[in-house]
A and B are shown apart, each in its own frame.
Chain A
Amino acid sequence: MRLHRLLCSLAFAGASLTVHAQGTLRVGMTAADIPIVTGQPDQGGEGQRFLAYTAYDALVHWDFSSADKPSTLVPGLAASWKVDDKDRTKWTFTIRKGVKYHDGSEFKAQAAVWNFDKLLKSDAPQYDSKQAAQGRSRIPAIKTYRAIDDYTLEIVTNEPDAFLPYQLTWIPMSSPANWEKVGKSWEAYAKSVSGTGPWKLVSWTPRERAELVPNKAYWDPKRVPKLDRMILLPLPEPSTRVAALRSGQVDWIEAPPGDAVPGLKAAGFQIITNVYPHNWVWHLSRAEGSPFNDVRVRKAANLAIDREGLNKLLGGLSIPAKGFMPPGHEWFGKPEALRYDPAAARKLMAEAGYTKEKPLAFKAIVPSSGSGMMQPLPMNELVQQNLNEVGFKVELEAMEWNTIINAWRAGAKAPGSRGAAAMNYSYFIQDPFTAFTRHLQSDLIAPKGTNWGYYNDKAMDDLLLKAKTTFEPKEQTRVLQQIHEKFVNDALFLAITHDVNPRALSPKVQGFVQAQNWFQDFSPVYMTK
């Protein structure tokens, strides 16, 4: 024990020798490379978190200021927006005046048009297929766009679509003036980055590091960074991230592995978690012949899962599902909350004609690993065991993550889904489209969209259309609650758990507010000695 203490004090002594100047935050990301720096980042949620909302702004932002309630939309580069009362496809965005890019040029409505062309107009000189690959799928509503004057932007949607502002949060605005200045080349732009965001990217090396410094002239004084410098380091290997934090090489790591958390806590590191719009489900097939076309079977499956037991398996780093959205979410509504009741599940299964002796056999495809998938193999084994106890006989087929993504895009009936009646997947459910529409709308059945399970219900289609065409936020929320209530009461998916977005911080890191969001604000963060 004494030796252990001696070693620990030596470790801290060693760590203190390598402490950086106060005000520099070094972050270990899970990505293997620095995300695309020219505007529209890759590397999923992490890319958007570290290189979109830092160096750039979008027309519409998320409010990151509170940890206690789900983030809502707030004005970004657009100071306000409204939809035309007569023609509900026509939106007018009033551009915030006086916003300057890091290169000194001003952001105007024409710059927004130029950025949409960068993603959508393949014959535009600034069209960039890499950024388009990332951005185009985020803004399916947009039909046309034009600058009416310097500070007025008009966007016309394909059909009335109240979700447009959510889609626009995905589109960071690159600088047209900078692109011209560097010789109309995105490769050159990457070496001299310019956005309007609260951070300036001053240097970066592929796969190694990116350095950002505060933009002291940022248009929102509340979001001017307190730090002197932020350094981003790609550390894809979880044990390397933990070692880098513990040895004092970084001050902050994303996604510490669950088994490292007790040790990190004991060593004095802060483990920050919060509910956020993520879920971990079994997406059920509703194709012809799927056993899940019987609502009793779907409900029985939902009653069979010991979600608290699963939380123990995950070291407490999860939030057991009460519905499809996390508990407390503004769209949760008042569905019949999910519970663990194997006796009731067995009763329903018996009604449907299945018992433990005569079980309902089906196949579920599950990923062996993957973004947001937590610890898929042990978790799925627990789900399998729970289901088998009430009259199912589940065959699990583990697949490589990219194969699962392809199967998910191709639909439950496609050969890639291998006849499975369920697929384990984790979902980003931050806006109405990603939360509900893409899974449930009948005209988004693959390959048109990602309604993997071929779910087709007129009443749900009507509700989805109503949400999309309800422009008053409170009313829209009520419709989204109705959708969620139907989602849960009809047991459309097997809802299992939610991740808590853990990150581990050195005790020196202060001021961070973990928003209930996939993205975060680093502006309030500062370092103590």
Chain B
Amino acid sequence: MIAYLLKRLGLVIPIALAVSVVCFALVYLAPGDPLSAVVPSDASKEMVEELKKEYGFDKPIPVQYAVWLGRTLQGNLGQSIATGRPVATEIGSAIGNTLILAFAASLVGFTLGAVLGTIAGYFSGSWIDKAVSAIAVAGVSVPHYWLGMVLVIVFSVILGWLPAMGAGPGGSGEWTWDAEHLKHLVLPAFALSVIPTSIVTRTLRALVADTLSKEFVIALVAKGLGQGAIFMHVVKNVAPTALAVMGVQLGYLMGGSILIETVFSWPGTGFLLNTAIFQRDVPLLQGTILVLAMFFVGLNLIVDLVQTALDPRIRRT
């Protein structure tokens, strides 16, 4: 097990490097340059060039990358160009907010998805299955930022039940798990949960239906086992794959909430990334993407380990 863990951890380094190279390159492929978005628009080209020199953006891109990499390896993610604040502090404050949102969304999404998917799998081919599948298809097809806006119009503007934006009346700095703050969490978490709900539903439906048609289940029925016991067998067989899908979805929720966070002005990493992209804030963009990628890799690793623990066949292969 430890050898397996070390082997997997060893793979994290090349992945991190690849991610950093790709995102560094992407920033430079995008139009505009890091300083033009930061200086006032009526600054002349001469002045922009002067400032570029001051910030080190006049050096060739590979040199800039090497400088960035050297600093990052020493644990220093640098400072945001736009605000001058340390990137690590910026990410630190945002990631907590994203975790709250991602876990709330996954709690809703995975629970709903597991229940709906299992029911649809059990009643495969019936009208229940068709209804659940229709909901799941609609869920993955509807753009979640659009759904977010609709939810805001209905529940905030028309009904006035829930707040339209923000992470609490006093901002995320004063976040506590009370009713007032949870109210702020409901709409973004629900909007964000729609896609994982649908994906988990579809996956579980297919897995459960498939498992139920396996010969060992027929054997169990023939043995006279009760429905409850058979269900436990189904769960054991479905769990490793379902967990893998949920792990990937949680990863997407961490990095993929950029639109929802923007629509709801939720001060997480998505909102941070959005700001960094618009300001061409390279160090902030680099740092955030790297940290999110590491989260993704870490989550996958945890899922792999849990899967292996649940299903020893995986380790043997």
Contacts and interface: CB of A to CB of B under 8 A. Distances in A.
State yes or no: do A and B come from one complex. yes
Nearest to B164: A243
Contacts of A10: 158-160
Nearest to A406: B36
A244 B173 CA distance: 20
B94 to A, nearest CB: 8
Interface stretch (A70-78, A126-134, A334-342, A478-486): A126-134
A409 B45 contact: yes
A248 B280 CA distance: 33
B40 A138 contact: yes
Contacts of A206: 83, 85, 90, 93, 267
B165 A246 contact: no
A410 interface: yes
Nearest to A426: B41
23 contacts: A11-B157, A11-B158, A11-B159, A32-B271, A32-B274, A33-B275, A36-B84, A42-B83, A137-B39, A137-B47, A186-B84, A207-B267, A240-B262, A244-B265, A246-B156, A247-B164, A400-B32, A402-B37, A402-B280, A405-B41, A406-B31, A438-B42, A447-B45
A246 B157 contact: yes
Contacts, number: 173
Contacts of B48: 409
A249 B41 contact: no
Contacts of A42: 38, 82-83
Given A240-B265, A249-B163, A249-B166, A406 B32 contact: yes
A130 B163 CA distance: 35
B160 A239 contact: no
A424 interface: no
A130 B281 CA distance: 13
A408 B93 CA distance: 37
B263 interface: yes
B243 interface: no
A42 B280 CA distance: 14
Q: How large is the interface on A (under 10, 10 to 19, 20 to 34, 35 or more residues)?
A: 35 or more
A371 interface: yes
A400 B37 CA distance: 12
Which residue, B93, B164, B167, B172, has most C-beta atoms of chain A within 10 A? B164
B32 A402 contact: yes
Interface in B58-104: 82-85, 90, 93-94
A208 B44 contact: no
B46 interface: yes
Nearest to A409: B45
B45 A410 contact: yes
Interface of A: 7-8, 10-15, 17-18, 32-33, 36, 42, 44, 122, 128-130, 132-134, 136-138, 186-187, 205-209, 233-237, 239-240, 243-244, 246-249, 371, 399-403, 405-406, 408-410, 428, 434, 438, 444, 446-450
Given A249-B165, A402-B36, A405-B41, A234 B265 contact: yes
Contacts of B280: 402
B263 A409 contact: no
Contact of A447 (B33, B46, B55): B46
Given A208-B171, A403-B32, A14 B42 contact: no
9 closest residue pairs by CB, A with B: A14-B160, A402-B32, A447-B45, A137-B43, A403-B31, A247-B156, A243-B164, A409-B45, A208-B171
A59 to B, nearest CB: 19
B153 interface: yes
Contacts of B83: 33, 36, 42, 130, 206
Contact of A207 (B37, B47, B159, B272): B272
A408 B37 CA distance: 13
Contacts of B167: 208
Nearest to A239: B149
Contacts of B46: 447-448
A130 B267 CA distance: 23
B216 interface: no
Contacts of B165: 235, 240, 243-244, 249
Given A237-B263, A239-B149, A7 B45 contact: no
B280 to A, nearest CB: 7
A402 B31 contact: yes
A469 B84 CA distance: 39
Nearest to B82: A42
A18 B48 CA distance: 46
A10 B154 CA distance: 12
B273 to A, nearest CB: 11
Contact of B262 (A17, A138, A237): A237
Contacts of A447: 44-46, 49
Interface string B252-283: 00000000001111010001101100111000
Contact of A129 (B40, B55, B163, B278): B55
B12 interface: no
A446 B42 CA distance: 12
A136 B40 CA distance: 10
B185 interface: no
B44 A446 contact: yes
